[in-house]
Amino acid sequence: MGFLHEGHLSLIRESKKKCDVTFVSIFVNPTQFSPTEDLSKYPRNINRDFTLLEKEKADYLFYPDVNEIYPSDFSSFIEIGPLTQILEGEFRPTHFRGVTTIVSILFHIMQPDYAFFGQKDAQQAAVIKKMIRDLKFDLQIVICPIVREPDGLAMSSRNVYLSSDERKDAVVLSEALNLAKSKVSNGECNPLKLIEEMKKLISSVSTTQLNYVKIVEAKTFVDAEYLYEGTEYLILIACKIGQTRLIDNLILKL
């Protein structure tokens, strides 16, 4: 959605490694925002974005107007099902319907062989993968690692909303993920105990308002009851720092 940062640029670099031609789409998608969310103030700077894209040698930029994508009589949406109703879907009920609709539109317009998404939006990536399987899109989804600031904060366009104090506080999210990873390395396999410790750390920071901490099986997004060797899990966090809602996650491979 623009206001590019190093996380976005890492996707472009991966595309250029794998593909002959790299298209970048920038579109702040209104259908994935609820009426109470930050559509009107979502950070935008297309001139800055264009300069960064030139520097990365992206081949094409697709930068459509809202009316090109959603004409006045638009009324078609894509619903994926149970995976979109948990976690982010519980707190943002219409969000994934907007995501799948715009992504499917972009896929139809661009006809890509590969599409590159970031691991930071882990549930979104899973939803899009399911959509292309269910609807038989002829392309491959490539998920690229989270890019972090030197202190561990996951890069996000919304980080610009944070005050200087909130910016320092926001590091607690990655610290909580690393705490859980450390405890697993030391033999803790009870997700409830891990979540309890993570919540305790996050709540120690006064600006935090936690939405959820979950540990799920990476393939199914089903809540983990125990961590078994040979299985891959995701630890997922959504939390407000002041008024800014951030998400983060960590892949656990036992």
Buried b (16+ CB within 10 A) or exposed e, 196-218: ebbbebbeebebbeebbbbbbbb
- Report yes or no: 251 and 218 within 8 Å, Cβ to Cβ: yes
Nearest partner of 6 among 151, 117, 149, 167, judged by Cα: 149
For 217-224, the CB contacts below 8 A with 24+ separation are: 218/251, 221/83, 221/86, 221/87, 221/123, 221/126, 223/191, 224/191
Torsion of CA 118, 158, 22, 105, to 10 degrees: 90
End-to-end CA distance of the chain: 34
Cβ proximity of 213 and 202 under 8 Å: yes
Q: Which of 254, 121, 138 is nearest to 185 (CA)?
A: 254
Give the closest residue to 211 by CA, choosing from 98, 123, 101.
Answer: 123
Report in angstroms the alpha-carbon separations of 175 from 32, 151, 248: 29, 9, 11
Q: Is 5 one of the annotated active-site residues of the chain?
A: no
Residues known to be catalytic:
8
